[in-house]
Chains A and B, each alone.
Chain A
Amino acid sequence: MFLQQLVNGITQGSMFALLAISFAIVYGTLRLVNFATGSLYMVGAFAGWMIVQFVTANLFLAILAGAVAGFIMGFVLERFAFRALRGVARIASLICTIGFAWFINELMTVLFGAERKAMPPFYSDTAFVISGVSVSWLQIILVAVAVVILVLLQLLIFRTRIGLAIRAVSLDFKTAGLMGIPIDRVISFTFALAGAMAGISGVLASAYYNAVFPFMGNIAGLKSFSAAVFGGLTSIPGAILGGYLLGLVENFGVQVISAGYRDIIGFVIMVVFLLVRPQGLLGRKSS
């Protein structure tokens, strides 16, 4: 059972990690918590579902569609909701993300209805069984996709010019602007990138739980935000670690205590940890 919960936890953790990164990228560059992340996750899931439903039942194409939808939505969100508010009180932007989240959620409810849509099962055959633990192909694919994306993201940020620009903006966007970095374009790209991460996470979750519905992002968003804080909000490796840890803690919590307490266990550990180490696992200590 220990092994099975470990497998469950890693699978769930992969989705949390992608979504936590989405929070971390935006926070890292703009010092802004994007509460619309859960909605971008949901929009990604819907995009994937539409590909599967109306075009072709291909999981990888659905993931791509989710990434594209998230990328575009992230871009739109930044262009219309944040650029005008940049430099004004940060609380205005924060409220704006919440408003945007509700707007998208309600819009999708009006367009598609509140009921759950079925995502057909993909690769649900068992890949292998070790000592009573069954691992499905889908779980392997989900974890593999998450890992590949995480590696690509690290490469993008540390090995490319745009990555260098993102790092410069995240350190100090005024100075970066003075150095000739086009900060508007960099921030747009950052938001879009965060949207793509959320979109991919949404498609993975919809394939894993076989369901798509307008409010699917609310709890997932909240939990991943906590995972990002746990990992240290400004740090991408921290967000990844936080996501996987949350997945594991939840699943072992269910095993040891009860499913009803899964959220309580996760959050109690997080609160206690943050009391001791407010900057999170890998976060920078603010001066």
Chain B
Amino acid sequence: MRRIVLVSILAAALVVPVFATGQTEAADDSIHVALSAPITGDWSEYGVNFQRSVEMAIEAINADGGVLGGRTFRLSVGDTKGNPQESATLAQKWTSDDSIVAQIGAFSSSSSMAAQPIYDAAGMVQLSPTASHADYAKGSPWSFGIVGTQAGEGPFNAAFAYDDLDLRKIAVLHLNNDWGIDTAKYFSEAFESEGGEIVGTEFYFDGESDFTAVLTKLKDSDADGLFIASFYNDGAGINIQRDRLDWDVTVLGPTSLYSPQLISLGGDSVEGLYTATGFFAEDPDPRLRAYVEGFTEKYGDPPNFHAALAYDAMFLLADAIERAGSTDREAIRDALAETSDFPGLAGSITFTERGDANKGYSKLTIADGRFIPYE
């Protein structure tokens, strides 16, 4: 008898947290949403920031009067541990709970894709802040990703180069991997359709540190601009060596260059470089300032790009529910798919037919050793 009591207590202790997560004072007509994120494990830093951001967003929305004429949100949080199987198990749990109207998550593309068939079969929105794999969003009409793809960023950078910087002949230097090839391809196509000319394309392999030879060759191409599809470490090396060759050319690169490391490695040689970012933490925009300062005050560290995307995901979901005029799962999906120019903090969001976001970016340049907005 005593053993049964003990076992029951233990079992209860194990079960309580499951029911307890996030279900704070559930008002009857509150709208229930779920978050799947790697709260523990290798990616816990991201997962914890997801939870913080979504909770902050819900707080702000509820304080602002909620949606659909005063209905507030409540959140259930599930831990994927960064494991695709856990993510799929959570998907079973969320979809079988009739009160849940939509799910935000997961963090990684693989976790999102493992859960995808379950959301697809059950008919529930799966809105990932960060999954960027080309096969994720197109895998199901119920799946959406808001981080953006190179297909969207390329035209933005091309317009930046052509319209704002008045460049007409561009030389392209890219890292030779999936990402670099795509980045160079989408940029070049868009730049040529703007009316510009790509006067040379060269690539290099990961791990190369000598760019002098290839820059000498590109210098010969009579380009007025140089587009570098690189990450910040190669970006710094390329600019130092370009500077040493006395090649005075306008340098432009994708969002991957936006890192303080670019400036600390590249020094003077990256002065005047142009790049873009989805999330500029020093942006003076009052909504962004309120989020960055509120987050920093509450949790000690400033939010990064990934945290801001999770914040955007919750606001986007609330906006879609308002536009749908109901909490019906299918109505939410349809409203979400029609999203156009949603003003996210980490860039505006317009969904493509596949469910990927075409993002808006802010233009940056480097002056006096700092990133500043380009005007």
Contact = CB atoms under 8 A, between A and B. Distances in A.
A211 B213 contact: no
A37 interface: no
Contact of B244 (A5, A136, A211): A136
B213 A259 contact: yes
A25 interface: no
B286 interface: no
A219 interface: yes
A1 B213 CA distance: 10
* Chain B residues touching A, majority SS: helix
A259 B214 contact: yes
A126 B205 CA distance: 28
A260 B237 contact: no
B209 A254 contact: no
Interface string A238-273: 000000000000110011001110110000000000
Interface residues of B, number: 31
A120 B269 CA distance: 11
Given A136-B244, A259-B204, A1 B233 contact: no
A216 interface: yes
Interface string B247-280: 0000000000000010011011100000000000
A209 B236 contact: no
Nearest to B202: A259
A138 B246 CA distance: 14
Interface string A210-245: 110001101100000000000000000000000000
Interface in A72-129: 115-116, 118, 120-121, 124, 126, 129
Interface string B327-355: 00000000000000000000000000000
B267 A120 contact: yes
Contacts of A118: 236, 264-265, 267
Contacts of B85: none
Nearest to B201: A258
B265 A211 contact: yes
B213 A262 contact: yes
Contacts of A4: 216, 219, 245
Interface in A1-24: 1, 4-5, 8-9, 11-12
A58 interface: no
A136 B220 CA distance: 19
A255 B212 CA distance: 11
Contacts of B243: 124
A121 B236 CA distance: 12
Given A124-B244, A211-B233, A260-B205, A12 B210 contact: yes
Contacts of B210: 12, 209, 250
A126 B214 CA distance: 19
B217 interface: yes
Contacts of A258: 202-203
B300 interface: no
B202, B265, B269, most chain A CB atoms within 10 A: B265
A8 B265 contact: no
A251 B210 CA distance: 10
A8 B212 contact: yes
B207 interface: yes
B176 interface: yes
Contacts of B265: 116, 118, 210-211
B240 interface: yes
B216 A211 contact: no
Contact of B246 (A134, A209, A219): A134
A121 B240 contact: yes
Contact of A260 (B176, B216, B246, B269): B176
B176, B202, B244, B267, most chain A CB atoms within 10 A: B244
Nearest to A262: B213
Interface string B60-92: 000000000000000000000000000000000
A216 B207 CA distance: 8
Nearest to B240: A210
Given A121-B267, A211-B237, A260 B245 contact: no
Nearest to B210: A12
A254 B203 contact: no
A193 B267 CA distance: 35
B209 A1 contact: no
Interface string B212-237: 11101101100000000000010011
Contacts of A12: 210, 212-213
A112 to B, nearest CB: 15
A211 B209 contact: yes
B237 A209 contact: yes
A258 B207 CA distance: 17
Interface string B181-214: 0000000000000000000001111011110111
Given A124-B240, A254-B217, A260-B204, 6 more contacts: A1-B220, A118-B236, A124-B244, A139-B244, A251-B216, A260-B203
**CB-based closest 5 A-B pairs:** A259-B214, A254-B213, A134-B246, A251-B213, A209-B209
Interface of A: 1, 4-5, 8-9, 11-12, 115-116, 118, 120-121, 124, 126, 129, 134, 136, 138-139, 205, 209-211, 215-216, 218-219, 250-251, 254-255, 258-260, 262-263
13 contacts: A4-B216, A11-B212, A118-B236, A118-B267, A120-B267, A205-B209, A209-B237, A250-B213, A251-B213, A254-B216, A255-B213, A255-B216, A262-B213
